[in-house]
Structure 1
Amino acid sequence: MRAGLTVGEFSRVTHLSAKTLRHYHDVGLLEPADVDSSTGYRYYSLDQVPAAQVIRRLRDLDMPVADVRAVLSAEDVAGRNKLIAVHLDRLEAKLVEARTAVDALRDLLRRSPAGPVVEHRSVPAQPAIGIRAVIDRVDVLSWWQGALGELNGIVGAQRLHRTGPSGGLFDSDLYEHERGEAVVFVPVDGAVRPVGRVTDFVVPAAELAVTVHEGPLDDIDLTYGDLGTYAARHEIGVTGPLREYYLRDPIETSAEREWRTEVGWPIFRSDSARG
């Protein structure tokens, strides 16, 4: 009497290939009901069909093998459903990320081929308060937002007079090596009492090619690309941090589409160019 369904028969019943069934056997996810000791042939039982169907659907949803194994071995329905719900939440988060990436790509394809509107600006040195740190590129946005809030808190607490928009300086290493120095600052006048990370700071003078980025900072790399291309074609670039001025920032509005950021690229300008 046969021990059960052969691999081929079980494959037809479950729509799982022989290769997949062997893999699931090797990783302990779906072991055969019986293995012939003399031939090594594997046999499955009809009772394993529901488990195979569950495994197939969970793997179709990209659930890791370890998590599928945990679902199958869950002691009760509540525990099993909780594991599945956690994975579904992860999938939904990935769908949001994918939708954001798709929208960003479509926006890129719809961009006007016309170059950026660029202003040349001579920026004098400015007294300010600032927060300086060496950070990883992946942490820039969260660090920037926290530093900006902290600086504005000090401005209010010490009743300092703002003399211009807040801004940031970002070292080239941050982009080239994904880790580098960044400074967020608020220009002020009056006596500053350093507190925690906040110290007095002088924003250095610079000659800049400046353009404006509208909206969230997630795609500010496109504005940098436009400005950097313009600078490479029409200007003499110089060593120095890239610069941003936040004309409308998260302190003013939480609506990211309303943010307005000036991006400054350091350049060399002769006296005749200034004239």
Structure 2
Amino acid sequence: MTAYLSIGDFSRASHLTVKTLRHYHRIGLLVPADVDPHTGYRRYRADQLAVAQVVRRFRRLDMPLEEIQAVLAADPGSRNERIGAHLDRLREQLGRTQRAVDELRDLLAAGASDDRAIELRSVPEVSAAAITEIVDAADSVAWLQGALGELYAIVAAQGAAVSGPAGGLYADEVFTEHRGEATVFVPCRGPVRAVGRVRAATVPAVELAVATHPGGPDGADRTYAALGAYVARHTLGVPGPIREYYLVGARDTADPAQWRTEIGWPVFRTGGAAR
């Protein structure tokens, strides 16, 4: 004989509220075994408790309800793939959270000061292969890696010699509006023919205050803050795009902790400009 539980008993046994159970019924995630057509009274089978436990744990792992439905409806092979993909996303999110916690602890320990080395540098004009587009800040990391891959492939295919580290130019709007013009370039000797997004470009000479950011994009704001404070204290900032030079990046190592990026703030150098 089939054992049934009222919605109240099922709620107590599953630790899902009655309101939640009704919602899961409405969306088809956890449908009662029996619903009285006259009273709407819901009854559940005892073996549905196992499904309720699975759903509850997935929700504790922040899996969206639509994805839980897809997991429950999938065959065992697809089900494991979906669960594995969600766990991978959780690990990535946990890593981001841990990095943010570590950075916050560092900030609290160090206070507002940041004594990283900053130098003034004259950068000469260079010829380069470049890609210029309007980019959303949220997409900038993926856009940068894609553009760099395309640039290096075109430069190699055309037999041009790379003459320095790749770099980027970022208009003020990238920071102030989180959407603006970005140029990524690879300095090279020899002419570069236009192919796809790639064009020949001349990257102009500039005077920069330069700081090196260790690691991936997370935490770059600290290097930018130190650089901005230095410029405010010691020299005169001038209009012009921020520059980045990618000394060590994803092309060199898969470990972001090993990446090194030089960040350059355009300045007007004077005889008294010093650290």
1:96 to 92, 95, 100: 92
CA RMSD across the alignment: 3.1
Call closer, same or farther: CA 1:41–1:164 in 2, change over 3 Å. closer
Counterpart position of 1:215: 215
Question: For the residues of structure 2 that align with 1:162 and 1:82, how far apart are their CA atoms?
Answer: 45
Question: For the residues of structure 2 that align with 1:65 and 1:192, how far apart are their CA atoms?
Answer: 51
Call closer, same or farther: CA 1:65–1:199 in 2, change over 3 Å. closer
Superposition deviation, residue 118 in structure 1: 0.9
Counterpart position of 1:30: 31
Name the SS for the 1:217 alignment partner.
coil
Task: Write the mapping of 1:29-68 to structure 2, written as runs, cut at 5 A.
Answer: 29-31=30-32, 33-35=34-36, 37=38, 40=39, 42-45=41-44, 48-62=45-59, 63-68=63-68
Counterpart position of 2:164: 164
Task: Write the mapping of 1:82-121 to structure 2, written as runs, cut at 5 A.
Answer: 82-83=78-79, 85-110=81-106, 112=110, 113-121=113-121
Q: Which amino acid aligns with 1:231?
A: V
Gaps of 5+ in 2: none
Question: For the residues of structure 1 that align with 2:253 and 2:83, how far apart are their CA atoms?
Answer: 34
Name the SS for the 1:196 alignment partner.
coil
Counterpart position of 1:137: 137
Question: For the residues of structure 2 that align with 1:187 and 1:247, how far apart are their CA atoms?
Answer: 13
Name the SS for the 1:164 alignment partner.
coil
Name the SS for the 1:243 alignment partner.
strand
Call closer, same or farther: CA 1:246–1:64 in 2, change over 3 Å. closer
Counterpart position of 2:124: 124
Superposition deviation, residue 32 in structure 1: 6.3
Call closer, same or farther: CA 1:18–1:243 in 2, change over 3 Å. same
Call closer, same or farther: CA 1:70–1:153 in 2, change over 3 Å. closer
Superposition deviation, residue 153 in structure 1: 3.2
Whether the 8 Å CA contact 1:207–1:266 is kept in 2: the answer is: yes
Question: For the residues of structure 2 that align with 1:161 and 1:85, how far apart are their CA atoms?
Answer: 44
Counterpart position of 2:247: 247
Call closer, same or farther: CA 1:195–1:41 in 2, change over 3 Å. closer
Whether the 8 Å CA contact 2:13–2:49 is kept in 1: the answer is: no
Q: Which structure's CA Rg is the greater one?
A: 1
Call closer, same or farther: CA 1:64–1:159 in 2, change over 3 Å. closer
Question: For the residues of structure 2 that align with 1:165 and 1:125, how far apart are their CA atoms?
Answer: 14
Cα displacement string for residues 66-119 of structure 1 (whole angstroms, at most 9, x for unaligned residues): 4444555x4xxx715633541342133222321233134314423654322111
Cα displacement string for residues 151-198 of structure 1 (whole angstroms, at most 9, x for unaligned residues): 333443444344432211111222222222111112234333333322
Q: Which amino acid aligns with 1:205?
A: A
Give the number of aligned pairs: 264
Whether the 8 Å CA contact 1:116–1:227 is kept in 2: the answer is: no
Task: Write the mapping of 1:196-207 to structure 2, written as runs, cut at 5 A.
Answer: 196-207=196-207
Gaps of 5+ in 1: none
Superposition deviation, residue 42 in structure 1: 2.0
- The percentage of counterpart residues that share the same residue type is 41
Name the SS for the 1:216 alignment partner.
coil
Q: Which amino acid aligns with 1:261?
A: T
Whether the 8 Å CA contact 2:103–2:219 is kept in 1: the answer is: no
Call closer, same or farther: CA 1:173–1:54 in 2, change over 3 Å. same
Counterpart position of 2:19: 19
Question: For the residues of structure 1 that align with 2:241 and 2:177, how far apart are their CA atoms?
Answer: 14
